Amino acid sequence: MAPPRHLDLVSDVLEYATPRIAWPVPFANGIPKLKSLRGQKVAVLASGDPFWFGAGSVLARHLEPHEWRALPGPSTFTLAAARLGWPMERITCMGLHAAPLDRLRRHIGPGERIITFLTGADAVKSLGEWLTTRGFGASPVHIMEALGGPRERITETRADRIDAKGLRSPLCVAFRVAGGGASLQTSAGRPDDLFENDGQLTKRPIRALTLSALAPVPGARLWDIGGGSGSVSIEWCLSHPHASTVTIERDPERAARIRRNARAFGVEHRLGILETDALSALDTPELWGDAPRSVFVGGGLSGDLLEALSNRLQKGTRIVANSVTLETESLLTDWQARLGGDLMRIDLAQMEPLGTRRGWTPSRPIVQWSATL
């Protein structure tokens, strides 16, 4: 079993009587056919390393361990790096053949090298436009067709000069980021104007302190209760490629806004949304599929919610809650006395014009409680 192009490549070395089965599109449709061949010797042909953005992990999930054996070849990334003389340990490797280009956003920085899979000539053209509109049109681009095969071809150009006519799959593109565009900072506390919002936004300095208190680690999950614009959830996801969040937001308009923000930052695949209130969300089965490392209460703070969280979360879970009212400040003071942790009052002031001079305009103070159960 293989895509038609793979069958064509091996047609002269297969015995005439060997059955040839073309793998259907979409890929998932081929799984039942493969499983129907149980008990027979079957070879599935795929490009390069099947466990690097390849079919291997998908097939392994559907087969028993004793039913399969992988014989990997050089991956497309390895072949591309070998053609260009790029060090693999300094390259970001991505599979954007079935994912939006915004996934690139967090990786774009001066001089960074990126190799990515793409599907079809239109996708290559779109990549060039994506880079150009963000100020990186000067990036040197290497368009690679059918690497390692008899019709391998490499075209060198710039992002703002890509001519996608005549390009044939399989395709990958390697580029080195160049140009005067703005890169996304790697530390928490991204600028507020990057987030679409209706005013319900954890502001930049408070967000940075909140993320520090939440203490994200590689691969950890966050529950963000009262998502607002989704800024805390998004910054949690940006902290590590495997970090994920479940955001609880009962307002449908805000939930839609969170989705748009997540797509713009390229983290929508790691940010789930429950459109309900906090206490109801705790009774939603899918919420408990993967226990959180940290929980942030940015909205809907109440004694009932803190009681439910403290009773149901695993030992070792971190809770961070922000308060802007005297009533919730009193609540957090009581819970700090009960469970311990840190209680911090955050007073900030912003310089603003004052007549012909300048002065400080204070913001509402924030009280933050953070504790580990």
Question: Residue 289: inside a domain, yes or no?
Answer: yes
Take residue 246 and report the two structure tokens written for it: 């479940």
Residue 46: the pLDDT is 87
- Reported as a pLDDT band with limits 50, 70 and 90, residue 54 is confident
237 contact partners, CB below 8 Å, separation of at least 6: 243, 244, 245, 262, 265, 267, 270, 271
Choose among 226, 235, 224, 241: nearest CA to 294: 224
Domain boundaries, position 112? 76-176
Q: For residue range 171-201, what is the model confidence (pLDDT) as tens digits?
A: 999 999 999 999 999 999 999 999 999 988 8
Cα distances (Å, whole numbers) of residue 289 to 58, 112, 267, 282: 21, 36, 19, 12
Asked whether residue 138 falls in the same domain as residue 254, the answer is no
Do 254 and 322 belong together in one domain? yes
Domain boundary among 40, 67, 94: 67
Q: Pick from 33, 15, 36, 17: which is nearest to 25 by CA?
A: 33
67-94 residue pLDDT tens? 999 999 999 999 999 999 999 999 999 9
Mean pLDDT of the chain: 94
Nearest alpha-carbon partner for 158 in 135, 141, 178, 179: 141
Instruction: Assess whether pLDDT exceeds 80 at residue 322.
Output: yes
For residues 259 and 367, membership in a common domain is answered with yes
Query: Is 95 found in the same domain as 217?
Result: no
Q: How many domains does the chain have?
A: 3
CA angle 211/244/320 to nearest 5° reads: 35
* Alpha carbon distance 177, 143 (integer Å): 15
Residue 16 has pLDDT above 70, yes or no: no
Confidence (pLDDT) at 19: 87
Task: Among 19, 34, 67, give the residue marking a domain's end.
Answer: 67
**Cβ neighbours of residue 146 closer than 8 Å, sequence gap 6 or more:** 152, 153, 168, 170
Taking a C-beta distance cutoff of 8 angstroms, is the pair 122, 164 a contact? yes
Based on the fold, state whether residues 172 and 216 are members of the same structural domain. Answer: no
Residue 149 has pLDDT above 90, yes or no: no
pLDDT (average), residues 124-153: 96
Lowest pLDDT segment from 6-10, 173-177, 209-213, 257-261: 6-10
Q: Are residues 132 and 241 in the same domain?
A: no
Domain assignment present for 185: no
Q: Which residues contact residue 89 at a Cβ distance below 8 angstroms, ignoring those fewer than 6 apart?
A: none
- 232 and 335, same structural domain? yes
Residue 333 resides in a domain: yes
Share of the chain above pLDDT 70, in %: 99
Give the rounded distance of the alpha carbon of 102 from its chain centre.
9
Under the banding of pLDDT at 50, 70 and 90, the label for residue 169 is confident
What is the bridge-based pairing of β-strands 91-95 and 244-248?
unpaired
Selected residue with higher pLDDT from 26 and 248: 248
- CATH number, domain with residue 204: 3.40.50.150
**What CATH number is associated with residue 118?**
3.30.950.10
Higher pLDDT, 127 or 169: 127
Looking at the fold, whether 127 and 222 belong to one and the same domain comes out as no
pLDDT classification of 252: cutoffs 50, 70, 90: very high
Instruction: Show which of 127, 147, 176 is a domain's final residue.
Output: 176
Q: Is the pLDDT of residue 6 over 80?
A: yes
Within-domain flag for 181? no
The answer to the question of residue 55 being in a domain is: yes
Same structural domain for residues 171 and 80?
yes
Q: What is the mean pLDDT of residues 335-349?
A: 96
Q: Is residue 184 part of a domain?
A: no
Q: Are residues 82 and 216 in the same domain?
A: no
pLDDT greater than 90 at residue 9: no
- If you average pLDDT over residues 231-244, what whole number do you get? 97
Residue that is written with structure tokens 């399969």 in the block: 68
Whole-prediction pTM: 0.90
Q: Provide the 10 A C-beta neighbour count for residue 72.
A: 13
Q: In angstroms, what CA-CA distances link 284 with 27, 268, 275? A: 32, 21, 11
Report the pLDDT averaged over residues 131-153: 95
- For position 63, what pLDDT does the model report? 94
In a domain, 364, yes or no: yes
pLDDT at 98: 85
Cα–Cα dist 47/82, whole Å: 16
Instruction: Indicate whether 89 and 159 sit together in one domain.
Output: yes
Q: Decide if 186 is inside a domain.
A: no
pLDDT above 80 (res 306)? yes
Asked if 215 and 302 sit in the same domain, the reply is: yes
* pLDDT confidence bin for 156, thresholds 50/70/90: very high
